[in-house]
Copies of this chain bind each other. A is one copy, B any other.
């Protein structure tokens, strides 16, 4: 098996994906872009599923890396900066964002390996948000905080991506999201 073929297919897939999103990823388009026939997509990947898994893993690895690189002076500042990075990611890597956070709206179901990448992402998020609570807080408490930050962050992204955001005063939505997050983080401290 030529590992070069696998790489060619992956590169072609990435190019199409970044240019046209998930819907540009037909097996014929990938094969044409790679200068090959479609059969390699089945032998080197698990068909279309394997292509999407590879991109899903890439997407989560990217956002997880971004979360890990956050270094601010205070817990609150760190969490807010991480959320800002996620908000930015949802725009700069919209195709990846839609794939990794919108899969449940489509017929794609991530593989176990892909889900592991998602779980690692949530673990990273939990580590960063954990700084908002005391060190002896239980794992469940820490995950609860992470869920709240996750929900508010991705909720704002969901609203940004929904058509009704064009019908309301949506001017500087990221600053609004961060303000809401700051409000919520302060409230967590007082809870």
Contacts and interface: CB of A to CB of B under 8 A. Distances in A.
A152 interface: yes
Interface string A93-114: 0000010011111110110000
Contacts of A119: 164, 167
Number of copies of chain A assembled together? 2
A143 B155 contact: no
A147 interface: yes
Contacts of A151: 151-152, 155-156, 158-159, 177, 180
Contacts of A152: 148, 151-152, 155, 184
Most buried by B among A98, A104, A154: A104
A183 B180 contact: no
A123 B147 CA distance: 27
Interface in A62-107: 98, 101-107
Interface of A is mostly: helix
Interface residues of A, number: 48
Contact of A104 (B154, B162, B191): B162
A149 to B, nearest CB: 9
A137 interface: no
16 contacts: A98-B104, A104-B161, A118-B163, A118-B164, A118-B167, A119-B167, A140-B169, A144-B176, A147-B159, A150-B159, A151-B151, A151-B155, A153-B155, A155-B155, A155-B158, A186-B187
Interface of A: 23, 98, 101-107, 109-110, 115, 118-119, 121-122, 139-140, 143-144, 147-148, 150-156, 158-159, 161-164, 167-169, 176-177, 180, 183-184, 186-188, 190-191
